[in-house]
């Protein structure tokens, strides 16, 4: 049985979806907090998306059907995760001399291209915060009607003292949040209160603003996830995930507003969080200036899949240190794995089918990819893995082990004919070129003309 660590219950336990259908035909609702599209995603952010991809693939491997929703934060996320600072989108627009809308489009496309390079499967539904303003206004109205909000000169806030279990996800009560701590309170009544709707400051015009509650303004960051997750997955759903930094503020606030507005407890049954990628003492963050992207890796000749392999070697709930040496070692490891896959393709291997059960046990033990990889290496060393089983396992790992370019050793006499054919084509002597192709075929090889030149394979 699939066992997952739930941040809400603080326990690892068997995964039982809310809707149990015959043959697991009911879909598991999975919401993952998406990127704030004001800059490229750094490799730390991408660690979280790789973890979520593994989760989704493991669920599928266990025959669950999934409805995976991911949002695009294109408004409302301030430079401070709480309620102060500038809107990251407007900041990005100023930096690049573009509109906030152009910035959002550009970095959304860049993010989707990063996911593709990392072999991360697309969600079933992408949703943008700016496409769901009416749903967010509706949610604020529900909370106003429930009497849990108050208004200040800069926005509408959720009063966290109005609910008795605020902070349960992060055990905030145990952290003794002291009044008067160095937190910029503004006009907030309590340190943990958070904005649902922000008013555009007087005398300013924002690029992204809407009329609501008697003011021009924009939604608070936490609101979008509650509104969109509920729109697409219902008032109660199975799994919500993101990076570990979201536990004390973003997800805590999503829970507070959703459970209050929809009268459902728990709003989400399982909360899963991926640990951080760190560089030395600090987390990797755009604001820390230690910001490495897939493009930075490419400049150092590290492929996106080598980065994926590097991530899978560590459990998703353990902090991971970024280092170029470790990445290079991972790249070598993945190359060797591809070589092994290529060899296996042409070899008959006697397989002990027990390996399927053991692999399932590993990945079902809270997504233990490091142990799953170790199992594969062990089996390869003792010739106990066949090609189709390896490809089956790769449905979870997503390392492209089936994309094997066939290594073709070209005999000298074939090479000589190829060289002659190349010359003939250059001289536009297509009759001779066709004759040479026939001769090459007789020797058991096929040649195709591509924009990179002649490509040769076995017939």
Q: Tell me 79's DSSP state.
A: S
Nearest to 48 by CA among 269, 244, 309: 244
* Residue, CB closest to ligand AMP: 243
| Interface residue with Zn ion, options 133, 140, 148, 225 (CB under 5 A) | 225
* CB-CB contact of 453 with 421 (8 Å): no
Residue 225 binds which entry of Zn ion, ligand AMP, none, with Cβ cut-offs from 5 to 8 Å by kind? Zn ion
Query: Is residue 47 a contact point for ligand AMP (CB under 6 A)?
Result: yes
x/- contact string, 183-222, with ligand AMP (CB under 6 A)? ----------------------------------------
Q: How far is CA 155 from the centre of its chain?
A: 32
Question: Smallest distance from the beta carbon of 38 to ligand AMP, in angstroms?
Answer: 8
Sequence-ordered alpha helix ranges (H) in 62-165? 88-96, 100-117, 133-145
Contact assessment for residue 186 and residue 194, using Cβ atoms and an 8 Å cutoff:
no
CA distances from 179 to 117, 183, 250, 315, 328 (A): 47, 9, 20, 37, 48
Q: Exactly one of 19, 105, 168, 283 binds ligand AMP (CB under 6 A); which one?
A: 283
Going residue by residue from 15 to 54, which x/- string records binding to Zn ion, judged by CB under 5 A?
A: ------------------x---------------------
Query: For the chain, how far is it from start to end, CA to CA, in angstroms?
Result: 46
- By CB under 5 A, tell whether 139 contacts Zn ion: no
277 binds ligand AMP (CB under 6 A): yes
| 196 touches Zn ion (CB under 5 A) | no
Shortest distance, position 110 Cβ to ligand AMP, whole Å:
12
CA-closest candidate to residue 111, choices 186, 202, 197, 48: 48
Spatial separation of the C-alpha atoms in residues 371 and 390, rounded to whole Å:
15
Tracing tokens 């192709």 back to the chain, one arrives at 437
Specify the stretch interacting with ligand AMP by CB under 6 A; choose among 99-107, 269-277, 299-307, 396-404.
Answer: 269-277
Q: Could you give the angle at the alpha carbon of 106 between the alpha carbons of 101 and 108, nearest 5°? A: 95
Name the minimum Å distance from CB 36 to ligand AMP: 4
d(CA 356, CA 207): 54
Q: Give me the helices (H) in 234-267, please.
A: 252-262
CB 371 within 8 A of CB 316: no
Task: Determine which residue in the list 17, 28, 29, 35 makes contact with ligand AMP, applying CB under 6 A.
Answer: 35
Q: Which is nearer to ligand AMP, 89 or 137 (CB)?
A: 89
Is the bond preceding residue 266 a cis peptide, omega within 30 degrees? yes
Q: How far is the CB of 37 from ligand AMP (least distance, A)?
A: 8
CB of 239 to ligand AMP, least distance (A): 14
74 binds ligand AMP (CB under 6 A): no
**Residues found in the chain:** 459
Our finding on whether 284 is near ligand AMP (CB under 6 A) is yes
Span near ligand AMP by CB under 6 A; candidates 8-16, 43-51, 157-165, 307-315: 43-51
56 contacts ligand AMP (rule: CB under 6 A): no
Binding site for Zn ion (CB under 5 A): 33, 225
């Amino acid at each position: 049985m699939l066992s997952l660590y739930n941040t809400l219950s603080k326990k690892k336990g068997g995964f039982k979806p809310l809707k149990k259908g015959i043959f697991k035909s009911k879909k598991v609702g999975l919401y993952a907090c998406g990127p704030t599209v004001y800059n490229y995603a750094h490799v730390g952010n991408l660690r979280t998306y790789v973890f979520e991809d593994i989760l989704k693939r493991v669920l599928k491997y266990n025959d669950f059907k999934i409805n995976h929703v991911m949002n695009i934060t294109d408004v409302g996320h301030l430079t401070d995760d709480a309620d102060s600072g500038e809107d990251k989108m407007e900041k990005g627009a100023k930096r690049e001399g573009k509109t906030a809308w152009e910035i959002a489009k550009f970095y959304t496309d860049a993010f989707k291209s990063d996911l593709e390079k990392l072999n991360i499967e697309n969600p079933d539904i992408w949703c943008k915060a700016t496409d769901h303003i009416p749903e967010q206004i509706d949610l604020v109205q529900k909370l106003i009607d429930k009497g849990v909000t108050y208004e200040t000169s800069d926005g509408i806030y959720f009063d966290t003292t109005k609910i008795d279990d605020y902070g349960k996800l992060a055990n905030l009560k145990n952290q003794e949040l002291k009044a008067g701590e160095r937190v910029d309170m503004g006009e907030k009544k309590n340190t943990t209160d958070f904005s649902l709707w922000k008013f555009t400051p007087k005398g300013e015009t924002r690029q992204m603003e809407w009329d609501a509650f008697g003011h021009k303004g924009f939604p608070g960051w936490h609101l979008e996830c509650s509104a969109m997750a509920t729109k697409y997955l219902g008032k109660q759903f199975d799994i919500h995930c993101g990076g570990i930094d979201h536990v004390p503020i973003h997800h805590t606030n999503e829970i507070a507003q959703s459970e209050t507005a929809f009268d459902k407890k728990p709003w989400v049954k399982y909360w899963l969080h991926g640990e951080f990628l760190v560089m030395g003492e600090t987390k990797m963050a755009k604001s820390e200036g230690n910001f490495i992207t897939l493009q930075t890796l490419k400049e150092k000749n590290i492929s996106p899949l080598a980065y994926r392999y590097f991530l899978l070697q560590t459990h998703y709930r353990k902090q991971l240190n970024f280092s170029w040496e470790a990445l290079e070692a991972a790249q070598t490891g993945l190359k060797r794995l591809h070589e092994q896959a290529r060899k296996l393709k042409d070899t008959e291997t006697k397989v002990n089918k027990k390996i399927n059960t053991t692999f399932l046990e590993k990945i079902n033990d809270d997504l233990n990819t490091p142990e799953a990889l170790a199992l594969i290496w062990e089996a390869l060393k003792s010739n106990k893995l066949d090609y189709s089983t390896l490809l089956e396992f790769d449905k979870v790992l997503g390392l492209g082990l089936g994309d094997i370019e066939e290594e073709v050793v070209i005999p000298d006499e074939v090479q000589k004919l190829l060289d002659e054919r190349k010359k003939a084509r250059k001289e536009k002597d297509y009759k001779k070129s066709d004759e040479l192709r026939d001769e090459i075929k007789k020797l058991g090889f096929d040649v195709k003309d591509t924009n990179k030149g002649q490509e040769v394979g076995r017939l």
